[in-house]
A and B are shown apart, each in its own frame.
Chain A
Amino acid sequence: MARPFPYTYISCPCAETPTPDPSAKRTSRDLSSKKNAGQSAASESGEEGDEQAFDPRSPRANFSLYPPEQLLFCEDCHQIKCPRCITEEIVCWYCPNCLFETPSSMVRSEGNRCARNCFTCPVCTAPLAVTTLENTTESHAHQGPWILACGYCMWTTLDIGLKFDKPTNIRIQLSKIYENANGRKASKTVSGLKSSLSTLSSMSEQLPGPDEEGDDGSRNPKEQSQLDHNARFAALKTFYRNQIAETSASPTDPLGSDFGAIFSSPSALNRIMSIYTSSTLGGPYGAAAKKQKSKLPVMREALTASEGLKIPPPDAERFIIERVTSPDCGWDGLASMDQRAFQSPDARFVDDLRPLPVLLRTKRSKRCKSCKHILVKPEFKPQSTRFRIRLIALSYIPLSTLRPLVPSPYPGQLPSSTTSPSISAPSLDALEPSKPIQFLLTLKNHLFDPVNVTLATPSLTPGRVTSKITILCPQFELGANSDVWDEALQNATATADRSSRSGSGFEKVAEAGKVWDKGRNWTTVVLEVVPGTLPGSSPRPTLQLGGKKVHDARETSDKWENTSPLREDEDVIEIPIFVRLEWDSENQMIEQPMGKGQKPETIKRELAYWMVLGAGRIKSEDASL
């Protein structure tokens, strides 16, 4: 989801520690040994403000930046957890259409699809509705045949000639219809041939001679047309299972047992057993075992239709090609790749498409990967949106919001009442290059302890388009969060206060080292941004700016690149900010951390992470963009 400006992303510290090391994370619990590799490196770099500053444009940043609401927080590891640092467990399966739960025992047999009346359109994926064909005004209990109809592309099962007798249990009806279409004979032949399968396969084991093959070929066309896709798959599966079992029967055959281990797990047991048998009997009977191996049948492919072989009729391809080229098929008559992906492999035309039962979705609980504590546990009921456990990062780290401060020298730019209700007077999608703009960065504390915040940012944003960033007050305190009722009572005064301030905001000037505004559990500081000049838009300022941008080796070395056209989203100002939080909290954990001589009740906490603020997009000077 592309987010509208201004947005906030938070970098999960897991990106700096390549492998989740449980021991390193456990030490981060107390302050003395807290600084694990990633955090300390980051904090130092943040304080010194150079080399290792987080680069939101680096390709790796994509994998560590998350919107704050997606992040979780592990209280035990005392760390932010991103979707990469957690493991998931399925709580329940449900159909996204009817929202009914499917018991886990049924999920497999139903093929991960809804067993009820939920189908998606094979043409456009919209859900299909069960409708009756005859729109009789009388409310008869018995109504005409039923069909599935797509309300989006108007496809109906009538297009493929399907009708249903009842409006319920469509899936069962559908599978019956398919069975009937394939002929009842098919199932008979399969079962009938299955008994002879063993004898046949043992016969062909000896030597699949040419005479036999000819025999098969003559028999095949009758049978294979009757075996439908699923039956054929089942036949092939049993055939290969038998083959593996037979060819790896010898306990001392390393090759056979190895293949067996790959293809099916039951023979892994064989292999283990073979270790015992070969070790005990290996010595004296070694030679005999080798002989036995040479006698073993060679694995072969399916040869008969009953085994799952399908030989397409020789003119099948020609028939398809003819149909494709015929005028009554055309482009619209062909099934697209997306449509065919979920259909039987033989489906080539729109007529071959069948309605698809809706794929199930899951509710999942989430655990910390390193300490295995549960972070998120939703209610079991599919419809419920509540959680039994929900440790989200937002309730631990301060919530940051960025708002542009209305620039005082431009009262004329104030939009008239007719324009959008967006909070910002200056459009964040077109920021003037090299014109300073001030933002209000508000951090709101959700902890019940006051927090000391230190912000750090590189003075120039990394990348080719460098914007100047200044945080006017990088160090401040956030008040403790308190009761909701206090908030409600104080909110009225706070908002009134703020509104008066914004009304008279023209007089208030942002001062360095001073907090802009402060509430019970929130603090606002001013962030000044001088948007950089885009390369390519006008060469003059770019060259001038090029002199300034000494820190970027690539740019100074390569002037051509400096004037090369903009790459995607290079004109977006993304401000990396290092946030460091320090607070004293009551120790809620049972186990006492090895503190460094503080009172037993409170423990000094520290949390540090990189945050990226998307401030806006720089306006290109051509004004064409």
Chain B
Amino acid sequence: MPPKATKGEYIETDTGNKISRRSLIHGPQHIILGGKTVIQADAVIRGDLFRLAHSTSSSSSSLGGGGGGKEQSGSAAAAKTASPSPSVAITLGRYSYVSKQVILRPPSRLHRGVHSFYPLKIGDHVFIGERAVVEAASVGNHVHIGKDVVVGSMAILKDFAYVLDGAVVPPGMVVPSWCVVGGAPARIVGELGEGYGVEGADGGLARDRYRMVGR
């Protein structure tokens, strides 16, 4: 049933995150994983694109919120900040699933002439399909992002949003809850049934998905 992984395809952390050894994680000290998160091979997670702390108070939420284990391995912090609590670039919730060749990039914006990055927050039970590029400002819980999707900068996907395969969510778009969006540029094409996201049914398979990884 599940593909037999070679031993050690995934690193399993204390909180149950399963991270492929072949994923590319930049700036891990700026990434918070909620636990039981799956990161597949060749996924690129740009934790190095964090907001430079100049005059603004760096968000000090790196205390492993939500039972999350902070990834603190590997390369040292960028020399520029060197603050004791590095700002968070990417937060991934529980049972979220990052497929192969996904690119997660914190969104950026030109604000008053300064180009700065903003944190990318991804909720629980989120599925991100293969080759998707996500630059959203926030992705809610139980969101499904299909394969080959591009989520533009500063977009907001609310809880139970569903992005169809190949859609291009334009920058700054807000996808309300229970809405299905598709096309390029994405627009609302339908609504999900009330039963979506119920454990075990469509949209509620995150636990099974997690269980199947690396077995």
Query: In the docked arrangement, what's the CA distance between A614 and B158, Å?
Result: 30
Counting CB contacts under 8 A, is B65 at the interface? no
A421 and B2 within 8 A (CB):
yes
Q: Which of B114, B185, B197, B211 has most A Cβ within 10 Å? A: B185
The reply on B194 being an interface residue by CB < 8 A is yes
Q: Among the listed stretches A268-276, A389-397, A430-438, which one makes contact with chain B, having 4 or more residues with CB under 8 Å of it? A: A389-397
| Across-interface contacts of B160 in A (CB, < 8 A) | 385
Q: CB distance A425 to B185 under 8 Å?
A: no
Residues of B within 8 A of A138 (CB): 112
A206 at the interface (CB under 8 A from B): no
Contact B1 A1 (CB under 8 A): no
- The residue of chain B having its C-beta at the shortest distance from the C-beta of A118 within the complex is B174
Whether the pair A399, B201 counts as a contact (CB closer than 8 A) is yes
Contact code string B159-172 (vs A, CB < 8 Å = 1, else 0): 11010100010111
Report chain A residues within 8 Å CB of B196.
69
Q: In the complex, which residue of chain A has the Cβ closest to the Cβ of B198? A: A394
Q: Tell me whether B164 and A126 are in contact (CB under 8 A).
A: no
- The distance from the CB of B172 to the nearest CB of chain A, in whole angstroms, is 5
CB contacts under 8 Å to B, within A363-412, are: 366, 376, 382-383, 385, 387, 390, 392-395, 399, 401, 403, 405-406
Query: Is the CB of A72 closer than 8 A to any CB of chain B?
Result: yes
Q: Which of B9, B168, B174, B195 contacts A71 (CB 8 A)?
A: B195
Q: Give Cα A127 to B100, complex, Å.
A: 29
Kindly identify which residue among A96, A125, A387, A424 contacts B179, using a CB–CB cutoff of 8 Å.
A96
Q: How far, in angstroms, from A499 to B2 measured CA to CA in the complex? A: 10
- Report yes or no: A96 in contact with B174, Cβ–Cβ below 8 A: yes
Residue pair A70, B195 in contact (C-beta under 8 Å): yes
B152 beta carbon closer than 8 Å to chain A: yes
State the Cβ distance, A395 to closest chain B Cβ, in Å.
Answer: 8
Asked if B180 and A96 sit within 8 Å, CB to CB, the answer is no
Report if B153 contacts A (CB, 8 A): yes
The reply to whether B173 and A127 form a contact with Cβ atoms under 8 Å apart is yes
B180 touches A421 (CB 8 A): no
The answer for the CA separation of A139 and B111 in the assembled complex, in Å, is 10
> Does A175 sit within 8 A of B, measured CB to CB?
no
Contact (A421, B40) CB under 8 Å given A67-B202, A69-B196: yes
Tell me, yes or no, whether A201 is within 8 Å of chain B by CB.
no
Q: Which of A129-137, A249-257, A528-536 is near enough to bind chain B?
A: A129-137
Give the distance to chain B from A123, nearest Cβ to Cβ, in Å.
10
State in angstroms the CA–CA spacing of A66 and B201 once bound together: 13
B194 lies within 8 A of A444 (CB): no
**Chain A contacts of B114 at CB under 8 A?**
137
B200→A444 contact, CB < 8 A = yes
Once the chains bind, are B171 and A151 in contact (CB under 8 Å)?
Answer: yes
Is the pair B1, A69 in contact by a Cβ cutoff of 8 Å? no
Is there an interface contact between A392 and B198, defined as CB atoms closer than 8 Å?
Answer: yes
Structural contact, B174 and A385, CB atoms closer than 8 A: no
A residues less than 8 Å from B212 (CB atoms): 421, 423
Annotate A1-43 by CB proximity to B: 1 below 8 A, 0 otherwise.
1010000000000000000000000000000000000000000
- Among candidates A126, A399, A423, residue contacting B173 with C-beta atoms closer than 8 Å: A126
Task: Report which residue of A69, A94, A153 has the largest number of chain B beta carbons within 10 angstroms of its beta carbon.
Answer: A69
Known: A98-B174, A129-B172. Is A394-B201 also a contact (CB below 8 A)? yes
Measured CB to CB, the nearest residue on chain B to A135 is B113
Count how many chain A residues have C-beta atoms less than 8 Å from C-beta atoms of the other chain.
Answer: 62
CB distance from A555 to the nearest CB of B (A): 35
Q: Is the CB of B113 within 8 A of A406?
A: no
Contacts of B192 in A (CB 8 A): 69-70
* Interchain CB contact under 8 A, A401 and B9: no
Interface flags for A492-503 (1: CB within 8 Å of B; 0: not) read 000100010010
| Bound CA span A71–B192, Å | 11
Whether, in the assembled complex, B53 has its beta carbon less than 8 Å from a beta carbon of chain A, the answer is: no
Instruction: Say yes or no: B2 contacts A423, CB within 8 Å.
Output: yes
- Roughly how many angstroms separate A125 CA and B198 CA in the complex, as a whole number? 32
B113 near A69 (CB under 8 angstroms)?
no
- Shortest CB-to-CB span from A564 to chain B, Å, is 31
**Which of B1, B113, B176, B201 is in CB contact (< 8 Å) with A96?**
B176
Taking CB atoms, residues of chain A closer than 8 Å to B174 are 96-99, 127
| Residues 117-149 of chain A, each 1 if its beta carbon lies under 8 Å from chain B, else 0 | 000000011110100000111110000000000
Let me know if A401 and B200 touch, CB within 8 A.
Answer: yes
Identity of the chain B residue whose Cβ is nearest the Cβ of A131 in the assembled complex: B110
- How far is B202's CA from A105's CA once the two chains are assembled, in angstroms? 37
A358's nearest neighbour on chain B, judged by CB, is B174
CA distance A415 to B63 in the complex (A): 40
Q: How far is the CA of A612 from the CA of B190 in the complex (A)?
A: 23
Contacts of B215 in A (CB 8 A): 499
Query: Is A294 an interface position by the 8 A CB rule?
Result: no
Are B201 and A68 in contact (CB-based, < 8 A)? yes
CB-based contact B170/A416 at 8 Å: no
Tell me the residues in window 89-125 of chain A with beta carbons closer than 8 Å to chain B beta carbons. 94, 96-99, 124-125
B202 to chain A: which residues have CB within 8 Å?
3, 67-69
Determine if A361 is an interface residue (Cβ-Cβ < 8 Å). yes
A152 at the binding interface (Cβ < 8 Å):
yes
B188 within 8 A of A: yes
Chain A hits for B9, CB < 8 A: 417
- Beta-carbon contact of A125 and B113 below 8 Å: no
- Asked whether A325 is an interface residue with its Cβ less than 8 Å from the other chain, the reply is no
Q: Are B194 and A139 in contact (CB under 8 A)?
A: no
Interchain CB contact (< 8 A) of A69 among B164, B194, B211:
B194
Q: Which chain A residues border B195 with CB–CB below 8 Å?
A: 68-71, 392-394
- In the complex, how many angstroms separate the beta carbon of A220 from the nearest chain B beta carbon? 41
Given contacts A1-B180, A126-B185, contact A416 B173 (CB under 8 A): no
Partner of B6, one of A70, A129, A417, A505: A417
| Complexed CA–CA distance, A123 and B126 (Å) | 32
Which of B2, B41, B113 has most chain A Cβ within 10 Å? B2
A61-93 to B contact mask, C-beta < 8 Å, 1/0: 000001111111000000000000000000000
| Interfacial chain A residues near B26, Cβ < 8 Å | none
- Interface residue? A326 (CB, 8 A): no
Query: 7 A–B contact pairs at CB < 8 A?
Result: A69-B198, A69-B201, A70-B195, A125-B187, A136-B112, A387-B194, A401-B200
Extra A-B contacts (15), CB below 8 Å, given A135-B112, A361-B176: A66-B193, A70-B195, A96-B174, A96-B188, A99-B176, A124-B170, A129-B171, A136-B112, A137-B112, A361-B188, A383-B177, A385-B177, A399-B201, A421-B212, A505-B1
**A residues bordering B, Cβ < 8 Å?**
1, 3, 66-72, 94, 96-99, 124-127, 129, 135-139, 150-153, 361, 366, 376, 382-383, 385, 387, 390, 392-395, 399, 401, 403, 405-406, 414-425, 444, 495, 499, 502, 505
Cβ-closest 10 pairs across A and B: A70-B193, A69-B195, A151-B171, A126-B170, A152-B170, A137-B113, A392-B195, A417-B5, A126-B185, A417-B6
